[in-house]
Amino acid sequence: MLERIRELNPGLNAYLTVSEEKAIGEARKAERELCGRSRGTKRRDRGALHGIPVSLKDNIYSAGVRTTGGSKILAEFVPEDDAPVVSSLEQAGAVILGKTNMHEFAYGVTTENPHFGATHNPWDRGRIAGGSSGGSAAALAAGLCYGSVGTDTGGSIRIPASLCGVVGLKPGLGRVNAQDVIPLSKTLDVVGPMARTVEDSTALFRAISVERKNKHASSSGRFLSTRGRFTLGIPREFFFDVLSPEVELGFEAAVRLFEKLGARFREVSIPLLAESEEAGNQIAWAEATCYHQEAGWFPGRADEYGEDVRTRLEMGIKVSAVDYLRACSLAAKLAGSLDSVMRGNQLDALLVPTTPIVAPRLGEDSVAIKGRKHGTRALLLRLNRPANLAGVPAVSIPCGLTRGGLPVGIQFIGGLGEEHKLLGLASRFERACPLNRHPTLDNETGDK
């Protein structure tokens, strides 16, 4: 894996820091434990992640390893302690390869980083990888790690997962410890797994979730049965108002496949979806600016931020207390209405597209859909914000490729505590429609 990073990372810019010596040390420890080579000790198997190379988004504290948050301000910051999520990975025996590139301070959806350079999409290096966990998704798609841990405030796990053709789980609020992770919006931030398959994402989630330490976890932690019928809701409003034709085709194909797998579909109506984008903005703008002010960076070091992040921090100053509180109230109402719709219709999950478009080109600030231009950032956030605002889990998985060879993603949105149910549904789909192709990179031969 380290050899592959050396060969391919320069063209992708997926990693900012590679901890080669530390990773080799962890791998040797795993080998000794698994083979029982430590003097006077028995063989020890820590589980599915033991000895498996994974990466971390560069806003997650890791002791002795540079953690930049994708920023100039923290370019040389080295934490003294691991974040709890890193400790959980190490207890599970995972080998941490290094830290992946990201949108500056996780405050964007493209990973076009002004300080460390853009991450390139392995399917087409002229396109974005998505963000803010873009380096993690690109590393996975290119085979530069077997799993990664990212963060998601408005789609930052699911957007790059969709654009790069990998699996990304946004857990519900509080399901993974977010301590010692550089925050964007403390009300909305979650930490979650990314991988190339649902099975691998599940192994990561089990290792890092709070359930791991709770022996009395509820039955919602079990997978949905792989047999029998299940019911998926398709919202009538919002999610399908603005879709590119290629994403629409991909979603329709996924629906047909699910019908063959025994799914029942119900059209549902969820109030307040249209208001979710603005409410999410008000909360994120205010909380991000508050954090950067308390850290002593803004506005005193404003010239050290990229233009897009600096502009959003300036917007945060203008959010009134009334607007912030109204947005928080709307978030609670959206969570209640979503729960009511799910229970009232006996839904296992909602099924919707992850992003309205496939990966846009680097620097492409707007995209035309059916003759009308839309801002790229707003498009990529649009279908992801509702799950963040409601605090519920959502998982994005690939549902195929366009004629041009770019991945399309679909997402399942579930009820509180139902991450494993969503992963079970995703696993059913993946087994029936695996993404057998992976990007062929310029300095490789054959279909990887």
Query: Catalytic site residues?
Result: 57, 132, 156
Residue owning tokens 């590679």 = 18
Task: State how far the Cα of 120 lies from the Cα of 313, in Å rounded to an integer.
Answer: 26
CA nearest neighbour of 288 among 127, 390, 140, 154: 154
**SS3 at position 303:** helix
Q: Where are the alpha helices (DSSP H) in 261-383?
A: 276-294, 307-317, 321-344, 376-382
Residue 233 near residue 345, CB atoms below 8 Å: yes
Task: State how far the Cα of 168 lies from the Cα of 385, in Å rounded to an integer.
Answer: 15
Task: State how far the Cα of 268 lies from the Cα of 327, in Å rounded to an integer.
Answer: 24
Task: State how far the Cα of 375 lies from the Cα of 204, in Å rounded to an integer.
Answer: 34
The Cβ-side half-sphere exposure at 271, using a 13 Å CA radius, reads 11
Q: Rounded to a whole number, what is the largest CA-CA distance in the chain?
A: 71
Task: State how far the Cα of 319 lies from the Cα of 285, in Å rounded to an integer.
Answer: 7
Residue owning tokens 């040797």 = 28
DSSP 8-state secondary structure symbol assigned to residue 60: B
CA nearest neighbour of 178 among 288, 293, 84: 84
Q: What residues form DSSP beta bridges with 193?
A: 149
Residue owning tokens 């550089």 = 182
Residue 48 near residue 89, CB atoms below 8 Å: no
388 burial via Cβ count (<10 Å: 0-12, 13-18, 19+): buried
Alpha carbon of 178 to those of 86, 132, 225, 279, 287: distances in Å? 10, 16, 30, 22, 16
